[in-house]
Amino acid sequence: MRNRTTTLLVIVSLTLASVASVVFAQLPSDPPGSGVTLEELFLVVNPKSPKPGSLAVVEVRAPSLNIGSAEIEWLENGKLVDGGIGKTTHPFTSGLAGSVITFTVRVKTATGAVKEKSITVQPASVDLVWEASSTIPPFYKGKALYPLFGKLSIIALPEILDQDGRRIPDSNLVYTWTKGNEVQGNLSGYGRNIFKLASPELRFPFTVGVTIELTDGTAVASETITVNTSEPKVLVYENNPLYGVLFNRELGENVSLAGQEVVFEVYPFFFNTNDRSRLSYVWYVNGEEAPDFKGPRITLRKVGDESGTAKVSVQIVNTNLFTENITRSISVALGK
């Protein structure tokens, strides 16, 4: 019985020794404290799609590892340009549209092992221009602003060139549009460089963004734009029988009638239509409706040598939209 017990103890001891040798064989080749292992490195460019001639930063990352004590070198198109202990970021200035820069990071471990990772940056840009359909007068040098519940189009104008300096056509670009934080899938896709607001937006301001990718899925440009609504307003001008509408001088709240007759003409701004004839005009003189005038102009005549003041008002209504209802008044001095 004593001999059998001794044999069992020997077998158990041999088994434990075997397990210990297996565990030891699985230890990493780099000793603890080497600062970095040869696991996969990642390169990140910020901003993700640099514009031509802009400042940007490329960063090396190693998830769950501390590379702050490792020796790091940065190369641009194969030429060493930066480096140092813990040099995890490299600032740079992007080139012209269509130019290409290949960044290579070289990480050296304490044991002498080396790991490299490369990324290519091709500067590109996109401008966003919005258009609204609202009333503005002739020869107006400004822009038709976006009215509440109005129609809005945002056009993407990319400057994306290939390595030969040729512009890449829209049909070869993928546009992904967002409104706020939501991707507008029905408005995104190949060559879809126009965003049209499909439903009224009730929260202002709101942001629309676009990301442009090549056919291989590489994002090359992105931009956002903030849209605000505008309040409609009404301006009044004199319609001179000799010179026409005097757009160079908008009439204020008080006007003196120098002659025997004057014609006032109103021009609504930023109503939700591009045709002012579709709006309703109701004129009042001293509080009483002037039924003979239904359009955007009224003629005032002085009778005899009367003097005093007359109050002229016009109410402009968009019959298709209850929110657009404005009254404009002018005090007209008669006589000397």
| CA separation for the pair 326, 231 (Å, rounded) | 10
Percent over 90 (pLDDT), the chain: 40
The pLDDT, as a whole number, for residue 91 is 96
The pLDDT, as a whole number, for residue 203 is 63
pTM of the model as a whole: 0.69
| CA separation for the pair 106, 288 (Å, rounded) | 85
As separate numbers, helices (DSSP H) first and strands (DSSP E) second, the chain gives: 1, 24
The pLDDT, as a whole number, for residue 200 is 65
The answer to whether domain 125-227 and domain 233-334 are alike in fold is yes
The pLDDT, as a whole number, for residue 39 is 59
| CATH architecture, domain defined by 125-227 | Sandwich (2.60)
Taking the CA atoms of 258, 264, 267 and 271 in sequence, report the sign of the dihedral they define: positive
Listing DSSP states for 196-220 in one string gives E--S---SSSEEEEEEEE-TTS-EE
Domain boundaries, the chain: 42-121, 125-227, 233-334
What's the mean per-residue pLDDT of the chain? 82
| CATH architecture, domain defined by 233-334 | Sandwich (2.60)
CATH class, 42-121 region: mainly beta
